[in-house]
Amino acid sequence: MASVSPGPCPDTGCPPTTEIDCIVVDKVYDSCSQTITTTQTFLPSAVCPISSCAIDLSTSSCTVGAVTPTSATDYNNITFIISVDYSVTCTSGVTLPETAVITQNVTLYNPSGTTPSCTILSGACTCVNLPNGDISCTLTLCMLFQTTATVQLLIPTYGFCVPPVCPQVGPVLACPPSPLFPPQAS
């Protein structure tokens, strides 16, 4: 990837900015990451020696359940509801879809106008067959919790980013081709 001018400032420092711009961005007011582990046990409809377990992050979700003020100004206890879709595959090839629902309380700086949210960054699961026929699965999730707001930021800039010309790869193509038009009658 080509570098964008002016790039890192040389030892002499950066030149003065040429503009002051107002941009609209999502500003993070508070965030934290946390590992959450939960265990769920279920009885399969048939005998199922376990082959594997997999979490489907594309269908799993995390939503805000409740927001409760704390004694500290603008800090709230936020209850997140995490729904994790996972599947257990038996050695026979049968796949058993399951869903685990977890609630997690997190205290975040959440002043009026900010929106709490959460994201499941990654996850793993392991399952074992219990002697009574049940399957016990342990789910481990890496979570990101945050509060954000769309704001206007005033920033010093060097103006617009002007991308460099793309490097040529392979043979150079004549553009426009020559001759561009058929010859005319004389």
Q: Tens of pLDDT along the chain (186 residues)? A: 334 445 566 667 777 888 889 999 999 999 999 999 999 999 998 899 999 999 999 999 999 999 999 999 999 999 999 999 999 999 999 999 999 999 999 999 999 999 999 999 999 999 999 999 999 999 999 999 999 999 999 998 887 777 777 776 666 666 666 776 677 776
Helix (H, G, I), strand (E, B) or coil at 114: coil
Angle in degrees, CA 31, 36, 41, rounded to 5? 150
pLDDT at 4: 44
pLDDT at 3: 41
pLDDT at 72: 96
Taking the C-alpha atoms of residue 83 and residue 171, their distance in angstroms, rounded to an integer, is 53
- Do 77 and 142 form a contact (C-beta atoms < 8 A)? no
pLDDT at 158: 80
Give the per-residue SS3 of 19-54: EEEEEEEEEEEEEEEEEEEEEEEECCCCCCCEEEEE
Torsion-angle region of 132 (φ positive above 0: left; ψ -120 to 50: alpha; else: beta): alpha
pLDDT at 165: 73
Taking the C-alpha atoms of residue 140 and residue 119, their distance in angstroms, rounded to an integer, is 14
pLDDT at 35: 96
pLDDT at 182: 75
pLDDT at 167: 73
Q: Tokens for 73?
A: 């100004």
pLDDT at 159: 79
Residue 5: closest CA among 166, 168, 164: 164
Residue 145: closest CA among 102, 99, 98: 102
pTM for the structure as a whole:
0.76
